Structure 1
Amino acid sequence: MSPSNPPEPDAGGAIVVFDGVCVLCSGWVGFLLRHDHARQFRFTAMQGEAGRRLLDAHGLDPDDPMSFLLLDATGARTDSDAIIAVLARLGGVWRIAAALRALPRGLRDAAYRRLARNRYRWFGKREACHFPSAAERERFL
């Protein structure tokens, strides 16, 4: 990764850009770390250099992010499409989440955006970004 180019997902892998100070978002990353047995996901906080570049490169405002970003070989996804794709990639029982695609995207995204707008008020905000443990560090950009 050069200073001007955002990172790219590994072959067969994906990058999740998340809000590192959001308690809910950090919990989501913890969930993924526990359930991603194939170790396909890598993570970067929106507040970091790599996260900011990825958001900017995909048309999201790094200073006012209302979504997390999923990047994989098929492209970039945000909002409810990103959540569904992440869960489906986990395999097993989590693939059931793909059934949510039957709901109109406008409805799904409206629910996602309400959650995103209220995430700090409902779940809290940390003073600093999630810091991975030594065992998790290789999964973070």
Structure 2
Amino acid sequence: MLKRDQRHVFQFATAQSPLGQKLYRDLGLPTQDFPTNLVVVNGAVFQHLDAFAAAMRQLRGPWSLLSMCRFLPRLIKDPTYRLIARNRYAFFGRSETCLVPGPDIRARFAENGY
């Protein structure tokens, strides 16, 4: 998302940060094993495939078309999200190195989540 967010619309927080922990706790989600990413847009919190759709909707160009998945029935959305989440490394690959963020990227994290 850091790469695709050219307009710097998003601010990020790690799930382990105080803000991330509060969001997960407030939603009754586990605070050690994170079953979903969360996306907050105008105060509304989105989870699972709805979080992906909400994020894509904020991007420009062809990426915004992916937000259409929000119209899928939950019966399809939730299993699809879980399937992709479980197999994300097989689908998208895995990096052998971690990003070491510079000051410009660190500034985009709420509460200095890094």
Q: Do Structure 1 and Structure 2 share a fold, with TM-score over 0.5?
A: yes
- Report percent identity of matched pairs: 31
RMSD of the TM alignment (CA)? 2.5
Q: Deviations over 1:12-37 (max 9, x none)?
A: xxxxxxxxxxxxxxxxxxxx112212
Aligned residue among 38, 48, 66 for 1:69: 38
Q: Is the 8 A contact 1:80 1:109 kept in 2?
A: yes
TM-score by length of 1: 0.64
User: 1:72 Cα shift?
Assistant: 1.9
Determine the structure 2 residue equivalent to 1:47: 16
Helix, strand or coil: the match of 1:116? helix
Determine the structure 1 residue equivalent to 2:56: 87
Q: Deviations over 1:78-113 (max 9, x none)?
A: 000000110111122112112223322221211111
Amino acid of the structure 2 residue aligned with 1:132: P
Aligned-partner Cα distance in 2 for 1:125–1:66: 21
Which has a greater percent of strand?
A: 1
Aligned residue among 71, 74, 84 for 1:115: 84
In structure 1, the gaps of 5 or more residues are 1-31
Deviation larger for 57-66 or 73-82: 57-66
In structure 2, the gaps of 5 or more residues are none
Amino acid of the structure 2 residue aligned with 1:48: S
